[in-house]
Structure 1
């Protein structure tokens, strides 16, 4: 029994109560302390909440756990705050891994470099003799030193691959940055982690998800190796997560996309994270000017980026995937990509005679106002990465010169989409940004830097009420995963997935939302995370 708290049930009719009772892996009852008092017996474990907030187990509807674990095991750069800091870490990684093999890292901040385009000379000075490859925080850019370019065979004469960009100096020589498909010229040469390495990385990532209060996920990009790692954790009982896994497919070949997704679904159908979803990357990112826009980039007249498939190819791929029962999850950054994705969903609805289930578009940095209403009409969930939705250095220093103030003011339009009838779900894109959902909830509400009490706001009127933001990480996300009968709302008979925070959340104190931390995380009624406390301080019950 958890009592004397602020329990957000997520139920539209009774969203807040003070107590919740668990029996085994299920919720026995929710209500006031008085209503549930009769359930307390001599063997009942009672947790006195002292006003703390309880939420349904949180969902992350767009996350890459193995990617985060691999970053942690490699040369992590995501919290480096300066170019000098990045280079110092790369030197340290090279010193810790003697030999002549690749130095591989991830997470450098694109906004630290002019035009998000770091030069090979910087890495040459740090590590001159060994090849270095560093993936950017956006997951769409890579940075090499001269030795790395030479090892990959990228020269002045190497053409840009389809849907890829090799950034170049004035004389045509590669400058050190590669985008999108050009990164594959390097990534195919990098040492592959062993399955044991990946299992360790994934186990660490699951622990971090529990620490953040997350009990359900949509893994937004799996392949055979990732599913093998999930199976190993499921077999040894440490995969205490539920959700959906999305198999990455190429939209240019519909038959091949369906065959790949179908084969992995059949092989891993028994996983708690069933691969019943297909993931399509439809465009790139604004920082590399590979996002597909309806109007040109301001600093490259006539350039609008490009889609990774023709409209006909995309229509056919989505139609066949949905006809085979797959949810279709698409990466879309630019407004042209958003429109093409919505057009493909419409084409699939017409061809199949009904809309597909669990449709979602992720990121949505730019959405044309004419397309807002189409999300609800087509049953498409807005998959919001809200930690991007405030005017940070990416937006101020990189995006603003690219697209101008008018388009910046329209970025990540969650409020407009909700007013147009859309469902919004929350996802982190971890390790691109922190996995902390409460920090994202604050930005979803305030649209300001969560580290500051005051500051500039992105998009007037685009913030969401606190309860709407909480539902994005609970009941709305559960509906997207197809688990709404079991999780996402605290009610009698539902699975006992929930998180107890270390304080009370309050809509009138939005700047404190990101300060809250999980105190206890329950999965199927068992504690999977318990906060550590200083010696002598009262902590979570054992």
Structure 2
């Protein structure tokens, strides 16, 4: 993708690395010193009193999963089991040739403890498997369980859990690695359809002002779709793929991961420089790894890696040339990740890998200072830092009041560590401004609770803006964070209707993304911006 012709921005506030100005010049996809007036032949963009700043980056997202949600019944907005069952039935009637019915992002809070019964979907004779919004859990009907051979005699797979009825029969809810028992039977679309879905997902991200994203979970079977999308110029944004390291196959499949990364190397806008390590699961299904028992059950979760194995795996990953992305949610999971990074830093000083710990929902106070000391970036999902139905009904009952302080963004930043934002889309929305609003207020959209949830962990608007744009540099090796919109920097830009720094925090969600530029080429224009351009 080459840069577009010269573009001259004026008529608003332009945030650069050296402060604010009122104009910006882009030539060949690069920021140049701006003259007083537009050079001859330049496209002129009147910012109309708005804000132009560094584009946003999503440090942890799943565009392929998000794109594929459109292939089945839409579930996220539904508020009851009955509504979901009707949506599945309607979709089945409309698609009589589908051998399996799949859907995603049902709300786990609408059933007690997030447990869903296969019989609630048995009105459909065909096998049904639905993903929860957390993407660590599925809900199957009885036909799907039978086809997978899951019954009272089926043992839990390594690193997975089959939820059972009192008599030992499977309930219909599968967690973590047990998901694969059913999901691996589902026929998958070809790379052409998946590539088209990727194109749609990338345009959605561009519409939120995003020009770079970390695909935080890529399997070898996904690479053809990604390559197909890149080769056909379907991707609106740049993406780095984090290839999943399988603890049950390590280190035997490292060679396969190296070959997969080589398959991607050189494709336009696409890299595969990172390995993804799931250190643990999630709090809501009791698989996040905790230092002490969950409040409501005698378990400390389901760690995926033994401490020594993870440490050795990180060394292998760095020696193979990869950066490292670790999913760690529980306080024991975060500590395990930090201990493994400490080992890596102690034995490997040449070309140190960029290490990111994503989520970090629970951090023991003793570990707060370790992120900066070990040169670890922490990628938070700011939309999770609110007292919503998930937190109230699923999370806090599991962790208890003694672990109520979560997503310690301000504390991590104060420790000197780098902080980035990611959406975990489709788990939550890729709406960057909504995430910034949550990080600044620690409130739900309706302003609850008053003063914010764990208000001591609120960020300033400047720190939140920086976190929303820093992932491309801190995680993606795309220049230096201090070069934002300075002369010579890549022209990855977002045009907003208002300056977030002067907007009341309660109104941040109302700011509109009017345009997005990737290396100087416009990849998104709002309807309002297009209309204004046509009127000139």
Confirm or deny a common fold (TM above 0.5). Answer: yes
Distance 2:503 2:25 in 1: 28
Matched, 1:204 2:200: yes
Q: Secondary structure at the match of 2:258?
A: helix
Q: CA RMSD in A?
A: 2.1
Q: Secondary structure at the match of 1:4?
A: strand
Matched, 1:457 2:452: yes
- Report the alpha carbon displacement of residue 23 of structure 1 after superposing the two structures with TM: 1.6
Distance 1:263 1:482 in 2: 21
Q: Secondary structure at the match of 1:121?
A: helix
Moved over 4 A (4+): 453-456, 485-488, 539-542
Q: Secondary structure at the match of 1:527?
A: strand
Aligned to 2:291: 294
The 8 Å contact of residues 387 and 448 in structure 2, kept in 1 or not, is answered as no
Aligned to 1:415: 410
* Residue 62 (structure 2) aligned to one of 57, 61, 64: 64
Q: Secondary structure at the match of 2:104?
A: strand
Distance 2:71 2:124 in 1: 23
- Report the alpha carbon displacement of residue 147 of structure 1 after superposing the two structures with TM: 1.6
Aligned to 1:527: 522
Distance 2:351 2:26 in 1: 37
The 8 Å contact of residues 110 and 287 in structure 1, kept in 2 or not, is answered as no
Residue deviations 1:464-521 (CA, integer Å, cap 9, x gap): 1111111112235422211124997111111221111123323450111111121111
Aligned to 2:397: 401
- Report the alpha carbon displacement of residue 540 of structure 1 after superposing the two structures with TM: 7.7
Flag the 1:444–1:15 CA change in 2: closer, same or farther, 3 A: farther
Distance 1:179 1:541 in 2: 54
- Report the alpha carbon displacement of residue 59 of structure 1 after superposing the two structures with TM: 0.5
Distance 1:541 1:323 in 2: 56
- Report the alpha carbon displacement of residue 24 of structure 1 after superposing the two structures with TM: 2.5
Matched, 1:75 2:73: yes
TM-score by length of 2: 0.94
The 8 Å contact of residues 26 and 32 in structure 2, kept in 1 or not, is answered as yes
* Residue 312 (structure 2) aligned to one of 299, 310, 316: 316
- Report the alpha carbon displacement of residue 254 of structure 1 after superposing the two structures with TM: 4.0
Aligned to 1:33: none
* Residue 227 (structure 2) aligned to one of 214, 218, 231: 231
Aligned to 1:466: 461
Deviates more, 1:144-153 or 1:131-140: 144-153
Distance 1:243 1:95 in 2: 37
* Residue 438 (structure 2) aligned to one of 429, 443, 463: 443
Distance 1:284 1:136 in 2: 14
* Residue 109 (structure 2) aligned to one of 102, 107, 111: 111
Distance 1:141 1:384 in 2: 21
Aligned to 2:491: 496
The 8 Å contact of residues 338 and 367 in structure 1, kept in 2 or not, is answered as yes
* Residue 333 (structure 2) aligned to one of 323, 329, 337: 337
Distance 1:540 1:133 in 2: 47
Residue deviations 1:275-319 (CA, integer Å, cap 9, x gap): 110001111111110110001011113x10121121111111011
The 8 Å contact of residues 486 and 494 in structure 1, kept in 2 or not, is answered as no
Matched, 1:19 2:30: no
Aligned to 2:209: 213
Name structure 1 gaps, 5 residues minimum.
31-35
Aligned to 1:268: 264
Aligned pair count? Answer: 528
The 8 Å contact of residues 345 and 355 in structure 1, kept in 2 or not, is answered as no
Aligned to 1:3: 10
Q: Secondary structure at the match of 1:381?
A: strand
Distance 1:322 1:521 in 2: 34
Distance 1:255 1:131 in 2: 35
Aligned to 2:92: 94
- Report the alpha carbon displacement of residue 354 of structure 1 after superposing the two structures with TM: 5.4
Q: Secondary structure at the match of 1:365?
A: coil
Distance 2:406 2:49 in 1: 36
- Report the alpha carbon displacement of residue 369 of structure 1 after superposing the two structures with TM: 0.8
